[in-house]
A and B are shown apart, each in its own frame.
Chain A
Amino acid sequence: MNDLFTAIAAEAREGWEASRASGREQVNVCLDTSSLARGGAETLAALQEAVAAKGLNVDIQTTGSWGFCWLEPTVSVRSAAGTRTVLYHSVTPDRVEEFVQATLVEAGEFPELALGVVEGAPSDAIGALEDHPFMQGQIRRLMANCGQIDPENIDHYLANGGYEGFVKSLDMEPEAIIELMLESGLGGRGGAGFPAGRKWDFLRNATAEPRYLVCNADEGDPGAWVNRILMEGDPHLIIEGMLIAAMATNAIEGYIYIRHEYPLAIERMNVAVEQARERGLLGEDVLGSGKTFDLVVFVGAGSYVCGEETGLINSIDGYRGMPRIRPPFPAQAGLWNLPTNVNNVETYANAPLVLRHGAEWWSGVSDDEAKGTKMFTISGAVNQPGCVEIPFGLSVRDLLEKYGGGTPGGVPLKGYQPGGPLSGVLSAEEAELPLTLAPFRDRGLFLGSGGIVFFDESTSVVDLCTYFLGFAEDESCGRCTTCFQGTQRAVEILRRIGNGGGRDSDLDKFEDLIQTMTWSNCLHGSFAMTTVKLALRYFRDEFETLIREKRDPTRSLPGMITYEITSPGDPALAEAAAICPTEAIVDAGSRFEIVDELCIRCGACAEVAPSAVTVRDRFV
């Protein structure tokens, strides 16, 4: 064992134990981007104020997310004796006063908002957190520290086994580290699932120096925030993973490329890198080993194709983030045309777990062909948008019902998107598929990086296609005509269909585009039509109804509906007229009327006067 490290880790553990044996209550407030959006910062301020006003001797600190995103802000309270910790949800600023009274002043509990007991014995009023329906079946390995430690305090990470995997790798030959990674079966978590060990081996075998590592934290798939949860909750896990990769490949510098939409993740990664440097875990002569590895947190500026590894490399190099033509691959010519390895956040984050606990433990979590655990975020038509970590293999339906809490209002599920705008859509009948790589690959798409978006029967599949193709069009880098013109053409046709101008020949045109666009240089172009391809496979009748009958079965496409006032005397109509952004509702003396030419189908009137305004088919 490395002596320098032994000393650092012992000191961290001592501090951690001392703080836990302080005899004071410990209040942990989750502050991640989701919690901030729900008033987490105000809750923290209100807690601090209440504690100060009452002169309580309490430790308050911040943590990352437990994954209960729809119930933020979450707050845990650890008893002064250190025997019991309870996690609470929805501790909004207006509840802080009574919350403080119950949990701190009276040193009791607050069952109304309790999620569960984290440590200590469950009671009749509050069950164990692990028995909470949302937690059952989850295996928290990557997220083990999320919600439990202060992400801006390296000692918390060190006190919980942090950097031990890296220290093991310091005494190993690069070949042995790679052998261990291959043995674990860790596949790339960005979507492709390519064995991380093999990728590292490409870099190890590269002929040029110096070599670089890149961590792809440009989590651009809308509806995916698993990387954000990790960076905001446990940033050192990613640094440790990159350090291990550096030992396996002899890389001397790494870049963590984070999208600018994640300011808190950027801040926390920067703090973590700085603290790791202070402890001698990054920089020259890491832990006295004679090896050099340092990290740069690199901030993106808004471009989806920078999530493609060569686009990302061009972006750091100082060019437009346009994906390169391969070969050469990054392992030969990456950053500054020098050997480079690019992995996703979650891929690197798994490496410390493999090193600490061994390949057998790591891969033994399930019998699934895809090894290890995977983080998923659940959003769209669900009751519980949140983040879970589970072994591969759970069915999509179970993910929705168990963790997503089902669809709102009991509207039947229509389908889902398994992982990003290029991954396509599947219908509800495919919800029995297990969440692992093979079944999706067999259907011509990929599982993606973990953002699963569900949609119910109120959603028009043509609207979904228009949305995803519009996204692909906006984000096309402009290199390949197949991609930037193909997406544009697809959007034009989809919009025309959505406005009642669909033609029988349109479906053939889609087939042409599907074929042509596969010849694009990168995945962005070659997978952009996946949504349409699969929508035609699963929802062809909906396209046909729109094209032939000029009718939208979901009555949601703006171009296919009109709004009509069916109770002209309804008193709510005055308010509807006032809210209409285009003044399309006019007062014709004794009655209100909608001027159809002015109406933009935004539906504001139907919201304020629901019993007076009716949606009708425009062409039927």
Chain B
Amino acid sequence: MAAEPTTRELRELVAEYEFERGHLLPALIEIQERYGYVSPAAIEVLARQMRTTPALVYGAVSFYADFRTEPPPEREIAWCSGPACRLRGGDRIREALQHTLGLPLDSQSEDGAYGLRLGQCNGTCSEAPQVWVDGEVVGDLTVAGAVAIARDVKGDA
């Protein structure tokens, strides 16, 4: 992940995108892939490129769950919110994760060291209940196992 993007970099990155061709989401995805998040400066630049208002761009950013408005944490647990996980104790795992990390879902520690995110089911239900730790599936999880993972991610294992 790069540092805070400059306006010039952002302008270059989105120079080929056109609102009329359905490019708002692809442009936002590209910005996030490059920088890890969509900064206020990026919203301004993209609005200008798309010949629309920052409000419309921000409206999309806030509507879609995947967009972040701050740099992602160094380490992250994504908790699977799917039904197969729920039926196997997924919600108790969520409680334990939140309390161990001291964070609600979709938030991160102030220093950006670790975060907790709500993940959507992608059909690996044979692993239920599962979480993704830094993007990797950890399945057949117990609550105790989740607490251990959260302590490790938090750095006080």
1/0 per residue, CB under 8 A from B, across A281-316: the answer is 000000000000000101111110000000000011
**B39 within 8 Å of A by Cβ?**
no
CB distance from A577 to the nearest CB of B (A): 12
CB distance from A386 to the nearest CB of B (A): 7
> Which residues of B lie under 8 Å from residue A255 when comparing CB positions?
22
CB distance from A309 to the nearest CB of B (A): 15
Complex: A453 Cα to B150 Cα, angstroms:
28
> Which residues of A lie under 8 Å from residue B107 when comparing CB positions?
none
Q: Are B84 and A379 in contact (CB under 8 A)?
A: yes
Comparing A9-17, A31-39, A146-154, A348-356, the segment that makes contact with chain B is: A31-39
> Which residues of B lie under 8 Å from residue A607 when comparing CB positions?
142-144
Q: Across the two chains, which residue of chain B brings its CB closest to A582?
A: B99
Q: Are B144 and A579 in contact (CB under 8 A)?
A: yes
**B6 within 8 Å of A by Cβ?**
no
CB distance from B147 to the nearest CB of A (A): 5
Complex: A233 Cα to B147 Cα, angstroms:
36
Complex: A611 Cα to B131 Cα, angstroms:
27
Q: Are B60 and A222 in contact (CB under 8 A)?
A: no
Partner of B147, one of A385, A417, A471, A579: A579
Complex: A548 Cα to B150 Cα, angstroms:
39
Q: Are A34 and B124 in contact (CB under 8 A)?
A: yes
Question: In chain B, residues 61-80, which have Cβ atoms closer than 8 Å to a Cβ of chain A?
Answer: 63-67
**A320 within 8 Å of B by Cβ?**
yes
Known contacts A261-B120, A601-B95; decide if A298 and B26 are in contact (CB<8 Å). yes
Interface size class of B (residues with CB under 8 A): 35 or more
Known contacts A37-B139, A318-B19, A579-B148; decide if A222 and B120 are in contact (CB<8 Å). yes
Q: Are A380 and B22 in contact (CB under 8 A)?
A: no
Question: In chain A, residues 316-364, which have Cβ atoms closer than 8 Å to a Cβ of chain B?
Answer: 316-322, 335-336
A38, A69, A229, A380 — which one has the most chain B CB atoms within 10 A of its CB?
Answer: A380
Q: Are B143 and A602 in contact (CB under 8 A)?
A: yes
Q: Across the two chains, which residue of chain A brings its CB closest to B25?
A: A301
Q: Are A604 and B124 in contact (CB under 8 A)?
A: no
CB distance from B47 to the nearest CB of A (A): 12
Known contacts A33-B123, A262-B122; decide if A318 and B25 are in contact (CB<8 Å). yes
> Which residues of A lie under 8 Å from residue B87 when comparing CB positions?
380-381, 453, 455, 459
**A539 within 8 Å of B by Cβ?**
no
CB distance from B30 to the nearest CB of A (A): 10
Total residues of chain A contacting the partner, CB 8 A:
64
1/0 per residue, CB under 8 A from B, across A572-613: the answer is 000000010110000000000000000011111001100000
Q: Across the two chains, which residue of chain B brings its CB closest to A260?
A: B66
Known contacts A223-B82, A579-B148; decide if A302 and B66 are in contact (CB<8 Å). yes
Complex: A229 Cα to B125 Cα, angstroms:
13
> Which residues of A lie under 8 Å from residue B82 when comparing CB positions?
222-223
Complex: A322 Cα to B64 Cα, angstroms:
11
Complex: A302 Cα to B121 Cα, angstroms:
11
Question: In chain A, residues 547-578, which have Cβ atoms closer than 8 Å to a Cβ of chain B?
Answer: 558
Q: Are B144 and A37 in contact (CB under 8 A)?
A: no
Q: Are A301 and B148 in contact (CB under 8 A)?
A: no
**A225 within 8 Å of B by Cβ?**
yes
CB distance from B131 to the nearest CB of A (A): 12
B84, B99, B100, B150 — which one has the most chain A CB atoms within 10 A of its CB?
Answer: B84
**A72 within 8 Å of B by Cβ?**
yes
**A467 within 8 Å of B by Cβ?**
yes
Q: Across the two chains, which residue of chain B brings its CB closest to A583?
A: B99
Partner of A453, one of B23, B24, B84, B99: B84
Q: Are A603 and B89 in contact (CB under 8 A)?
A: yes
> Which residues of A lie under 8 Å from residue B26 when comparing CB positions?
298-299
Q: Are A317 and B63 in contact (CB under 8 A)?
A: no
Q: Are A385 and B126 in contact (CB under 8 A)?
A: yes
Q: Are B123 and A318 in contact (CB under 8 A)?
A: no
Q: Are B120 and A302 in contact (CB under 8 A)?
A: yes
> Which residues of A lie under 8 Å from residue B153 when comparing CB positions?
none
Complex: A303 Cα to B120 Cα, angstroms:
10
Contacts A/B (CB < 8 Å), 12 sampled: A38-B139, A222-B120, A223-B123, A302-B65, A315-B25, A320-B63, A336-B20, A581-B100, A600-B95, A600-B99, A602-B143, A604-B143
For the A-B complex with A34-B126, A380-B125, A579-B147 known, give 11 more contacts whose Cβ atoms are closer than 8 Å: A69-B125, A69-B126, A302-B65, A303-B63, A316-B22, A318-B50, A335-B22, A379-B83, A381-B87, A385-B128, A602-B143
